[in-house]
Structure 1
Amino acid sequence: MSDLRNIFFFYKPTEKAAELLKPLFKIMENHGFTIVHDYRKANIIASIGGDGTFLQAIRKSGFREDCLYIAINDTNIPMLYADFSIHDTDKIVDAIINNNVEVRRYPTILATIDGHTSFYCLNECTVRSSIIKTFVLDVYIDDLYFETFRGDGMIVSTPTGSTGYSKSVKGAVIDPLLPCFQVSELASLNNNAYRTLGASFILSGDRKLTLKLAQDGNDYPVIGMDNEALSIQHVEKIEVSLGDRKIKTIKLKDNSFWQKVKRKFL
């Protein structure tokens, strides 16, 4: 990692953050790193904050594949993406300088709206009703009709995103080494008149999921991409597949995904 010397810090600019980051900036510069103010000139992008800040850093920098991302936690709350703590600056630099880190490639999903507007997600894509009315979606897997969903909406998550919103609705926690994505229901109607699978299901990375919205006046959904909501009107279909981009993150060698899961949930 000796050739990775241009680093961009993504954080909310406040006086508190500026004071907190001064020691880290100084140590990084003393070890030959150049702090850049344009993420396009960086080969390391470091987010300062929680998992939400990390997701924002990736989205705002365009899901770059030609750089490394690092998540630095500024709280004492365990995070899934952050291996490092802002309160232990020496450990951050020592790990990078002495190559005590591994590069983990996290899969993304690609969501395409009505065949022309596409977005990458590292955590999940969510589709929910924007009005107080049952949401109706026809679900297709590889262009084959699977079911008609009625309820509040759907969550399509990546393996790393499986520990977030998807887990809260009883979805499985998926190893990020598996190239796949998961589909979970939000408050589905299941009775004598309507029926869905009623459980989360996992699709291979070779599959394509298509959600066709019933044009019944509820065709202005709230579409979430990670922790951002899209303002798109009159949506007819959403196609989701495994993304062709992988996000390269720096992690400590002794801090695996499952160690993080255990620390956060058990």
Structure 2
Amino acid sequence: MTDDRRNLFVAYKQEDEVLRKVEPLLELAQNYGFTLVDDYKKANIIASIGGDGAFLQAVRKTGFRDDCLYVGVSTGELGFYCDFHVDDHEKMMTAMDNNQVEVRKYPTLAVTMDHDDSTFYCLNECSIRSSIIKTLVMDVFIDDLYFETFRGDGMIVSTPTGSTAYNKSVTGAVVDPKLQCYQVSEMASLNNNLYRTLGSSFVLSNERKLTFKIEQDNNQYPIIGIDNEALSIRHSESIRFHLSDLVVKTVKLKDNSFWHKVRRSFL
């Protein structure tokens, strides 16, 4: 890496098996001139050890910093956020020594609740569903236009990078992360002679705003998933979404693009 700011914070589970893999990696980092710091706020580079879930947790717990670089290091199979494997020390150092890494910018989704006006950020997706075995009913607005009334298990709003996760499992499209957009996908919508929705995923540009207004009668128990964390939003009346200007900068290998990862993961 050409940047001389080399303060490194490493996020990992305090488990014996993980520690055995992390310790030689930390020693190697110090040998290569990185300074290990205990406070992520003092770091210029934040590395997560684990998998994609660990990466999402690291980004969330360190506040979605846009003034540092994030690095995903896998302890198992390589994922969408992890370009390196924890045991492949030579590959990591060779890549940095020979300038084989680039900076990738991931878009984030901003989610605002009406009940306390709190804004959360998502790197993958936000999902809204009923926490009881009952249909969730929401009016869907695009900008100020009433679009449809959704009845079903719930909805998923995903970033392009999150399009390969929960969104894909409900037959949403895989979206190139270079596109400034976000996607809305249904979970088990009711479509019959009485109720009607679009019945397919749709993609909104970064200039569009999306709002879900939750019907309050018999819908007191919705739950929201923010990436891989769950929050109760009981009694919330509306949830607003837009593609944020906040980006998460990550280190990637030049020969490991998003579409390389899609091919490796699904084909």
Any unmatched runs of 5+ in structure 1?
none
1:18 is matched with 19
1:70 is aligned to 2:68: no
Q: CA RMSD in A?
A: 1.0
CA–CA separation in structure 2 for the residues paired with 1:235 and 1:2: 45
Aligned counterpart, 1:34: 35
Cα distance in structure 2, aligned partners of 1:234 and 1:127? 13
1: CA distance, partners of 2:40 / 2:89: 21
Contact 2:78 2:84 in 1 (8 A): no
Is the 8 Å Cα contact of residues 220 and 235 (structure 1) preserved in structure 2?
Answer: no
Q: In the TM superposition, what is the alpha-carbon distance from 1:62 to its structure 2 partner?
A: 0.3
1:83 aligns with 2:88: no
Task: Quote how far apart the aligned CAs of 1:93 are.
Answer: 2.2
Distance in 2, matches of 1:15 and 1:191, equals 54
Which 4+ runs in 1 deviate beyond 4 A?
none
Alpha-carbon shift at residue 16 of structure 1 (Å): 1.6
User: 1:240: Cα distance to partner?
Assistant: 0.4
Identity %: 63
Match of 2:258 in 1: 257
Provide the secondary structure at the position in 1 that maps to 2:189.
Answer: coil
Q: Would you say how many aligned residue pairs link Structure 1 and Structure 2? A: 265
- Contact 2:7–2:43 (8 Å) recurs in 1: yes
Per-residue CA distance 1:80-103 (angstroms, 9 max, x = gap): 111100110121122223321010
Q: SS at 1:152's partner residue?
A: strand
Q: What residue in structure 2 maps to residue 2 of structure 1? A: 3
Alignment of 1:50-65 (within 5 A): 50-65=51-66
Q: Could you tell me the TM-score, scaled by structure 1's length?
A: 0.97
Gapped regions of structure 2 (runs ≥ 5): none
* Aligned mates of 2:157, 2:220 — CA distance in 1: 18
**Maintained 8 Å contact 2:78/2:85:** no
Residue-by-residue CA offset, 1:4-27 (whole Å, 9 max, x unaligned): 311111110112212111221111
Task: Give the match for residue 151 of structure 1.
Answer: 152
Tell me the CA shift for residue 104 of structure 1: 0.5
